[in-house]
Amino acid sequence: MTKLSVNINKIALIRNSRGGNHPDLIKVAMDCEQYGAEGITIHPRPDERHARYEDVAALKKVVRTELNIEGNPMDKFIQVVLDAQPHQVTLVPDAPEALTSDHGWDTLKHQKYLRDIIAVFKKEGIRTSIFVDADLKMIDAAVDTGTDCIELYTESYAKQYPRDKEAAIAPFILAGKRALELGLRLNAGHDLNLDNLNYFAQAIPHLAEVSIGHALVCDSLYYGLQNTIGMYLKKLQA
């Protein structure tokens, strides 16, 4: 069964837009779990424009499912992860000024860099995942970094899905099979939503986890948070 990890960055963005603590990010995370979410994802960036580094420690105290911390492994990020000891850390190659994640790691070019950082996390018993495109060369090279998991960057799938869903999913099926052959746990995320999630999950039955934030928070404006999480879970179970 594919797990749903709710990325709460957009909740943090709303909080930060007015200062103070409304909405309460920690309470929202606890509510997401109560409503059925099987993980909480947070992605603090260096400018802390949405999730803040201090949020990580607070979430660690309350998350009862799985806490996944995403980010570019700069020195501050590495220390925050080591202090929090989350269940999973997902390494993402986003530049500090990036609006959102827009590509996976070049696991050939950055192999030694990734290997060294992953070794630090694995020494602490933290499951590691790296963000990659649905490119077999990048997945093959990911094994040599020592990572436990890969997270497939699914924006290309989401963009092509309305026009040709079979063509959109094809490279991801191949990528998923290769990950399985190599013994890598398989996660996915970025632009997955209520329209395209079920098709993706059905095509890749060994998918361990999806991380969804922006679309889920947008849908909750219409359906409510509890109902929305239930709707996403049904898409994964159908």
Positions marked active-site: 43, 70, 190
Q: Which amino acid is at 11?
A: I
Cβ 147 vs Cβ 110: under 8 Å: no
| Sign of the CA dihedral running 228, 229, 230, 231 | positive
> What is the DSSP track for 34-58?
HTT-SEEEE---TT-SSS-HHHHHH
Cβ 50 vs Cβ 10: under 8 Å: yes
- The H-assigned helical ranges of 19-154 are 25-34, 53-62, 75-84, 111-123, 136-143
In this structure, what DSSP letter does residue 153 have?
Answer: E
- The H-assigned helical ranges of 146-224 are 155-160, 165-181, 197-203, 214-223
Joined together, the tokens standing for residue 162 give 């309305």
